[in-house]
Structure 1
Amino acid sequence: MLAKRKAPALLASAVVLAAGFSAAGPTPHAEAAIPATIPLELKNSSGRAGQVYIYTIGTELSTGRQGWADANGTFHAWPAGANPPSPAPDASIAGPANGQSKTIRMPKFSGRVYFSYGQKLVFKLAPGGLVQPAVQNPSDPNRNILFNWTEYTLNDSGLWINSTQVDMFSAPYAVGVRPPTGAIKTTGHLKAGGYNGFYNALRGQPGGWANLIQTRPDGTVLRALAPGHGIEAGALPAAVMNDYVNRVWSKYATSTLTVTPFANEPNNKYFGRVSGNVMNFTNSSGAVVTSFQKPDSDSVFGCYKLLDAPNDRVRGPISRTLCAGFNRSTLLTNANQPDASSANFYKDAVTNHYSRKIHAQMANGKAYGFAFDDVGAHESLVHDGNPQQAYITLDPFS
């Protein structure tokens, strides 16, 4: 699933691309204000020699069909898949050489733009759709390829495009959008030295966090897995967040956690109290509106399973807030959530150190270090309702 949350579709090598994408904006307007495609400029400032390959894949919003787009933005539906998965058509576009730029067309998709260095990515088709890279699986054919992706939605309400580390931290890049007037909006750039700074910081973090780093047999650093995938791969202890979760459960057995999930609705509050293994949330009338079992570490990092967040007006928004509070370790220090100040984040010894170290290396402090890093607008996302052009910059590794 193309979503910022860790979805079941991203958990194994046979990953099926499903419809839907969490960076989507409001429901499209009845009358299209955005053309069928907009230009996407890819600038290669990576400093790396060798061919770069680009892929635009996703769901065509007008039809719901899954497929890929060529350099002109023309949609091509995937053919039927097989079991075992069959090779997908070659959707690659030759990218720009180092120091050069290339402009392609971006269609109205909910999807991703992948880019890989030196080798083409391996995509296959299962009966349910596209099989995407899942490099937490050591047998995945893309395991030793250096690659990354951006997520985007382009619809009649505009463009939403982000730089994401929800699944992994890898080849550095930034995204941008040019509005009709004013400066280009951009996000995702690392600080000077931030790429190596992140890996060095992760190597220095006790408790198995260094095991998230994946290298090629020749020693080349490829990526760091997000901690949920690290648990899945056996690289990070499954109980890594348990101590913090247990302390949260203990605190709110005798006190109340207040969640105000919508900044523009300050009177819409929910109140959480723990009873045994369950945290029950009531509304202002005292009625129980939803309940959560005590989450395990994987549920916390992925914001799913025991912290599932449906697209509704109650459970989903509460779960998003809880997920952010667990990953940022603010639930013990602030009984009113969400905590708005990044100065309060990641202060506990038990926290999402992966996300903490990514944010510390971002030029503007913003990132998608976990699924709901957008709670409080701390995410690396740009949006414009009338985009004239999109940008992806492949940044230097040094």
Structure 2
Amino acid sequence: MLARLTPRLVSVAAAAALLGSLLTFAAPSSARAAVPDTIPLKLTNNSGRGEPVYVYTIGTSLTSGQQGWADANGTFHPWPAGNVPPVPAPDASIPGPAAGQSKTIRIPKFSGRIYFSYGQKLVFKLATGGLVQPAVQNPSDPNRDILFNWSEYTLNDSGLWLNSTQVDMFSAPYAVGVQRADGSTVNTGHLEPGGYNAVFDALRAQPGGWAGLVQTRSDGTVLRALSPGHGVGNGALPASVLDDYINRVWRKYATATLTVTPFADQPGTKYYGRVSGDLMNFTNAAGAVVTSFQKPDADSVFGCHKLLDAPNDAVRGPLSRTLCAGFNRSTLLVNPTQPDTSAANFYQDAVTNHYARAVHARMADGKAYAFAFDDVGQHESLVHDGSPRQAYLTLDPFS
């Protein structure tokens, strides 16, 4: 569910646009209406780093629909008006816990992000359209040399959805968790021992430009690996990196049928894809064309957008989600029935999303949000509870 809300967020303004999707799929029930306006978030710093940590809770209020930030008590503050050029935003930082310590703050009913940075405060600005968030794929972004990361969450009357995300980048390691109504606790997002460095090593060793995703500071500090969509966008990764696989898929389904069952709880709902020229046309059981997709490029595949746009509808969006997952995981040639939800089949082709492959391979539980629709088949790093007692964000070691 959260994939509909946050992994594709590029600005807080996007949260407002996606709010309707949340309410469509998570309508409040009377049993859950008692979710409080704020819940505690326990921040634990196991990073082993000595720099100060700064934390930010930023998003769209689900009470008022306004964009803003929350302080340590969970009190909402709307952003003031922006300008052109963008002007500095108010300092929304919360001092985080020192290494080896914990700190509890409160988070409100938001659709947004929890940022954290090491050593320096992040730079946020306000434009006329709202908050300008860090975009480190741009070499001139003021946050380019800051070590930081973020989690994404939605808290509403139906509960909490909290994830760890690598949709935009792989950086400072962390995990998320929730204490359920029954007192049990679940978490996800931890890397296996040595996993942090192993992801960067895997990208550096992968031929074809994947090493270009790794960003370092002038002092040699490794800051992050950009997601391949951002890498294609800024030229770090060749735009042709997936052409061979995409061409083979198009050739295959010119003479074969791709069968998609987009809803796990609706096995009778099937669509049938065949390629004709540059189009893959999907028909329903009656043989009527319901939607068509142009032959995608790498940017469309990595971002699950543009030629693989996924509107929040009952047909095109679910089909696009399935195609996006199949292309990123390179399962479309080995399985004409999609989605393929068996992790054993993922990333086996030589031409694949090697970033997602490297990230998933180093996660302790195998789960990650390495691309926007990594929740297809429930392979995402997400915790959820309808009546959460407490949320957790743990800053993990850099090893």
- SS of the equivalent of 2:42 reads strand
Aligned counterpart, 2:387: 386
Matched to 1:19, the amino acid is A
Partners of 2:381 and 2:87 in 1: CA distance: 35
Q: Which runs of 4+ in 1 moved over 3 A?
A: 1-7, 15-18, 20-25
Residues 84-233 of structure 1 correspond to what in structure 2 (within 5 A)? 84-233=85-234
Q: Deviations over 1:30-62 (max 9, x none)?
A: 672200000000000000001100000000001
Whether contact under 8 Å (1:161, 1:381) holds in the other structure is yes
Whether contact under 8 Å (2:181, 2:385) holds in the other structure is no
The verdict on how the C-alpha distance between 1:20 and 1:111 changes in structure 2, with shifts beyond 3 A counting, is: farther
Aligned counterpart, 2:305: 304
How far is 1:72 from its partner?
A: 0.3
Is the aligned partner of 1:33 residue 2:45?
A: no
Q: Deviations over 1:248-277 (max 9, x none)?
A: 000000010000000010000000000000
How far is 1:18 from its partner?
A: 4.8
Whether contact under 8 Å (1:228, 1:298) holds in the other structure is yes
Aligned counterpart, 1:334: 335
- SS of the equivalent of 2:281 reads strand
How far is 1:5 from its partner?
A: 5.4
Partners of 1:102 and 1:20 in 2: CA distance: 32
Partners of 1:377 and 1:17 in 2: CA distance: 23
TM-score norm. by structure 2 comes to 0.96
Whether contact under 8 Å (2:136, 2:143) holds in the other structure is yes
Is the aligned partner of 1:243 residue 2:240?
A: no
Partners of 1:2 and 1:88 in 2: CA distance: 27
Q: Deviations over 1:129-185 (max 9, x none)?
A: 000000000000000000000000000000000000000000000000001214211
Whether contact under 8 Å (1:17, 1:131) holds in the other structure is no
How far is 1:21 from its partner?
A: 5.1
- SS of the equivalent of 1:219 reads coil
Matched to 1:135, the amino acid is V
Whether contact under 8 Å (2:356, 2:371) holds in the other structure is yes
Matched to 2:370, the amino acid is G
Partners of 1:138 and 1:21 in 2: CA distance: 28
Whether contact under 8 Å (2:45, 2:101) holds in the other structure is yes
* Long gaps (5+) in structure 1: none
- SS of the equivalent of 2:16 reads coil
Partners of 2:239 and 2:8 in 1: CA distance: 16
Whether contact under 8 Å (1:81, 1:129) holds in the other structure is yes
Partners of 1:176 and 1:21 in 2: CA distance: 23
TM-score norm. by structure 1 comes to 0.96
Is the aligned partner of 1:19 residue 2:16?
A: yes
How far is 1:63 from its partner?
A: 1.1
- SS of the equivalent of 1:324 reads helix
How far is 1:29 from its partner?
A: 3.2
Q: Deviations over 1:82-107 (max 9, x none)?
A: 00001000000000000000000010
Partners of 1:262 and 1:16 in 2: CA distance: 29
Whether contact under 8 Å (2:5, 2:111) holds in the other structure is no
How far is 1:27 from its partner?
A: 2.3
How far is 1:233 from its partner?
A: 1.3
The verdict on how the C-alpha distance between 1:296 and 1:137 changes in structure 2, with shifts beyond 3 A counting, is: same
Partners of 2:102 and 2:126 in 1: CA distance: 31
Q: Deviations over 1:307-340 (max 9, x none)?
A: 0000111000000000000000000000000002
Query: Which sits farther off after the overlay, 35-44 or 15-24?
Result: 15-24
The verdict on how the C-alpha distance between 1:109 and 1:144 changes in structure 2, with shifts beyond 3 A counting, is: same
Residues 33-112 of structure 1 correspond to what in structure 2 (within 5 A)? 33-112=34-113
Partners of 2:6 and 2:344 in 1: CA distance: 23
> Across the two proteins, how many residue pairs are aligned to each other?
393
Residues 264-303 of structure 1 correspond to what in structure 2 (within 5 A)? 264-303=265-304
The verdict on how the C-alpha distance between 1:27 and 1:61 changes in structure 2, with shifts beyond 3 A counting, is: same
Aligned counterpart, 2:369: 368
Which one has a larger percent helix, Structure 1 or Structure 2?
2
Partners of 2:209 and 2:18 in 1: CA distance: 31
Residues 346-361 of structure 1 correspond to what in structure 2 (within 5 A)? 346-361=347-362
* Long gaps (5+) in structure 2: none
Whether contact under 8 Å (1:21, 1:111) holds in the other structure is no
Partners of 1:313 and 1:148 in 2: CA distance: 33
The verdict on how the C-alpha distance between 1:195 and 1:2 changes in structure 2, with shifts beyond 3 A counting, is: same
Whether contact under 8 Å (1:57, 1:111) holds in the other structure is yes
Matched to 1:26, the amino acid is A
Matched to 1:278, the amino acid is L
Q: Deviations over 1:213-246 (max 9, x none)?
A: 0000101000000000001111000010111000
Whether contact under 8 Å (1:46, 1:98) holds in the other structure is yes
